[in-house]
Structure 1
Amino acid sequence: MADAAVQRRNMVESQVRPSDVTDRRITAAMTAIPREQLLPSRLADLAYSDERLTLAPGRETLPPRVLAKLIQLAELDAEENVLVISESGYAAALVAQMAAKVVALLPDADAANAAKAAYASLAIGNVTAVSGPAASGWAAASPYDVVLIEGGIEQVPPAIENQIRENGRLVSVMLDEGLGRAVVLHKRAGLFSKRDAFQAAAPLMSGFAESRPAFVF
């Protein structure tokens, strides 16, 4: 592939900054972290394209500009404990540049092991890569100040709600009849208030579909 450092700069300048991403920590992280090392090798040439990438059937990443806007929406603090639910380890690598501790919850052991190897090679020491059902979260490292879900959701499972500390927040793309809006949910007195932020398309994450009554003839 062409010089990756040049591609990263071009991604930031042509995709991320024009999308109203003003947090310099995000643009610095995206300029520095080689996304191709956190994707399957067959996708290396597409690492800096402005599109969703299919990692496996039913598993997609968000375009870099959408991911950057979600991270900005989270308003991360340097002392925070963050859970990142994603299909690849890239989102957590970015968040790790802005938070104290990060758990990267990935869909299977192969994805988690690949992320661990990439984090080690990049000297990113504040991320723990684990695997398991996305909708179960990762209780062992909770409570979290922030949960960031790189994908679409129709509802927030109770398991994840319970892992967010008081005054914490969840950031994701809320889907309603196929249309998506990035949202931040703030937890106060055990209840969540929602703030819409921007329109965004995102694939529905496994385990986050809204329960619907069975159709009866």
Structure 2
Amino acid sequence: MNTTTHSSPEVLRNRLVDEIVEERIAGLYDPRVEEALRTVPRHEFLPAVSIETAYANQSVSIKDNPAEDALPYSCASKPDVVFFMLVQLQLDEGHRVFEIGAGTGVNAAYMRRLVGASGLVVTGDIDGDVTAYARKTLDATGFRDVDVITRDGVLGAEERAPFDRIIATVGVWDPSPAMQNQLRDGGRLVLPLRWRGLTRSVAFVRQPERLLSDSVKMCGFLPLIGQDGERTGYVDDEHLIRLFWDDDQAIDPTELTTAVSQPGTVAWTEASVGPVESFDGIWLRLSATEPTTCRITVKPAAIEAGLRRPAVPALSPALVDGNSIAYLTLERMTVEEGTEARFRIGAVGYGPRGRALAGRLCDQITVWAGDRAAEPVISLYPAGTPDYELTDGYVIEKPSARMVISY
């Protein structure tokens, strides 16, 4: 149960929203979304944690996964990510919206306020425990008119379609036909889309022949259960170095075991970042240019044993070619006393082709450095769309969609 606190839920909630609005991590804002987050009592959707935890800007697990290195089955997303995804969705009075991933029910409550009495909110989840939890919290907080259904979210809710808006609050690797077809022309689809080891919240607008992005923002979400196109494996027997890739990529992490046990080759660029500057765009550029882009995760013990530290040990972009790999790395630069620390950006390669891979990675770092704010345009076409109907760009094949990334 909630523990006693010196601040009321209202004070803590408003303090959290003040922080989110001030930081605007994705650069997005909508006063109606702000009002919804200030009004809906998030702590009542998280009765098992303290009020302070409920109003901290962090995700909260509601169903854990006991498997090794596994993410929870379900959680309440970080409030700042919830905020900007709702801004991306652009809900209005009277809209009909379908949510994939019921979670705690709080996101459905926000949306119910945004669509008003004339709108419709349907939230679904494949896990009956999760939908039972959401139904209970929604009923207890006065949102009984939200429809909660138990089913695989990739199937949508055809009986209530078409929708003006569809949003997923779980990571989607393959945008299903239902996600594409149950949306009205001009409607918006917001997905935490997964490809090449990364996840980005992408807002799409429905056009007659495709879904076209107008916003691509960094986020992190639990993967949608039942989509098995992502692969993962360890490079070493100690399970310290792990790769994440897609099933259309010919990557075998065990081929890299010898390579990472040898000294690496480091290549540097002229690009640098401060302590809180984002370099997320490098990974996006790699995914639009390099077919071998994937993700590397390294535990501290591997770094202590001599492996060069990836830029972000928990999730950094990498290029893999057979028995060779290169990944992003940082090095603190010498600066004058009293000035902000800076880190130059480069790549470290291992294996016979490690030097060449590091050079290719550095090429994309340099391109990114010339226009750091650029976002890619992502188009989703139905699977089977012929090449001549696609826009220019790099094509990633999904079972249900042809994904085109361009700059």
With the shorter chain as reference, the TM-score category is: 0.7 to 0.9
C-alpha contact (below 8 Å) 1:25/1:97 kept by paired residues: no
How far 1:40 sits from its partner (Å)? 5.5
How far 1:157 sits from its partner (Å)? 1.0
Q: Where do 1:137-156 residues align within 5 Å?
A: 137-156=156-175
Greater shift after overlay, 203-212 or 19-28? 203-212
Aligned to 1:88: 104
How far 1:144 sits from its partner (Å)? 0.8
How far 1:147 sits from its partner (Å)? 0.6
Aligned to 1:101: 120
Q: Residues 23 and 188 (structure 1 numbering): CA distance in 2 closer, same or farther, change over 3 Å?
A: same
What secondary structure, in the 3-state scheme, does the structure 2 residue paired with 1:155 have?
A: coil
How far 1:22 sits from its partner (Å)? 2.7
Structure with the bigger RCO (C-alpha within 8 Å, sep 6+) is: 1
Whole-angstrom CA distance in 2 between matches of 1:32 and 1:77:
17
Which of 37, 40, 43 in structure 1 is aligned with 2:44?
37
| 2:83 counterpart of 1:68 | yes
Whole-angstrom CA distance in 1 between matches of 2:195 and 2:248:
17
Whole-angstrom CA distance in 2 between matches of 1:208 and 1:37:
31
C-alpha contact (below 8 Å) 1:135/1:206 kept by paired residues: no
What secondary structure, in the 3-state scheme, does the structure 2 residue paired with 1:103 have?
A: strand
Q: Residues 119 and 201 (structure 1 numbering): CA distance in 2 closer, same or farther, change over 3 Å?
A: closer
Q: Residues 127 and 199 (structure 1 numbering): CA distance in 2 closer, same or farther, change over 3 Å?
A: same
Structure 1 counterpart of 2:218, one-letter code: Q
Whole-angstrom CA distance in 1 between matches of 2:59 and 2:197:
16
C-alpha contact (below 8 Å) 1:155/1:209 kept by paired residues: no
Aligned to 2:11: 6
Q: Deviations over 1:135-175 (max 9, x none)?
A: 22222211111111113222201122222122222102222
Q: Residues 21 and 126 (structure 1 numbering): CA distance in 2 closer, same or farther, change over 3 Å?
A: farther
C-alpha contact (below 8 Å) 1:16/1:64 kept by paired residues: no
How far 1:130 sits from its partner (Å)? 1.4
How far 1:214 sits from its partner (Å)? 9.8
Whole-angstrom CA distance in 1 between matches of 2:21 and 2:35:
11
RMSD over aligned CA atoms reads: 2.5
What secondary structure, in the 3-state scheme, does the structure 2 residue paired with 1:130 have?
A: strand
Matched positions, count: 217
Aligned to 2:150: 131
Structure 2, gaps ≥5 residues long: 66-72, 231-246, 253-407
Q: TM-score, normalized by length of structure 2? A: 0.49
Whole-angstrom CA distance in 1 between matches of 2:110 and 2:159:
22
Which one has the largest radius of gyration? 2
Structure 2 counterpart of 1:122, one-letter code: T
Task: Give identity over the alignment, percent.
Answer: 21
Higher share in helix? 1
Whole-angstrom CA distance in 2 between matches of 1:130 and 1:208:
19
Whole-angstrom CA distance in 1 between matches of 2:139 and 2:222:
29
Q: Residues 155 and 69 (structure 1 numbering): CA distance in 2 closer, same or farther, change over 3 Å?
A: same
C-alpha contact (below 8 Å) 1:154/1:174 kept by paired residues: yes
C-alpha contact (below 8 Å) 2:104/2:137 kept by paired residues: no
Q: Residues 14 and 78 (structure 1 numbering): CA distance in 2 closer, same or farther, change over 3 Å?
A: same
C-alpha contact (below 8 Å) 2:125/2:153 kept by paired residues: yes
C-alpha contact (below 8 Å) 2:171/2:222 kept by paired residues: yes
Whole-angstrom CA distance in 2 between matches of 1:119 and 1:90:
8
Aligned to 1:28: 35
Greater shift after overlay, 102-111 or 27-36? 102-111
Q: Residues 181 and 110 (structure 1 numbering): CA distance in 2 closer, same or farther, change over 3 Å?
A: closer
Whole-angstrom CA distance in 1 between matches of 2:207 and 2:32:
27
Whole-angstrom CA distance in 2 between matches of 1:85 and 1:144:
13
Structure 1, gaps ≥5 residues long: none
Q: TM-score, normalized by length of structure 1? A: 0.87
Whole-angstrom CA distance in 2 between matches of 1:137 and 1:68:
23
What secondary structure, in the 3-state scheme, does the structure 2 residue paired with 1:205 have?
A: coil
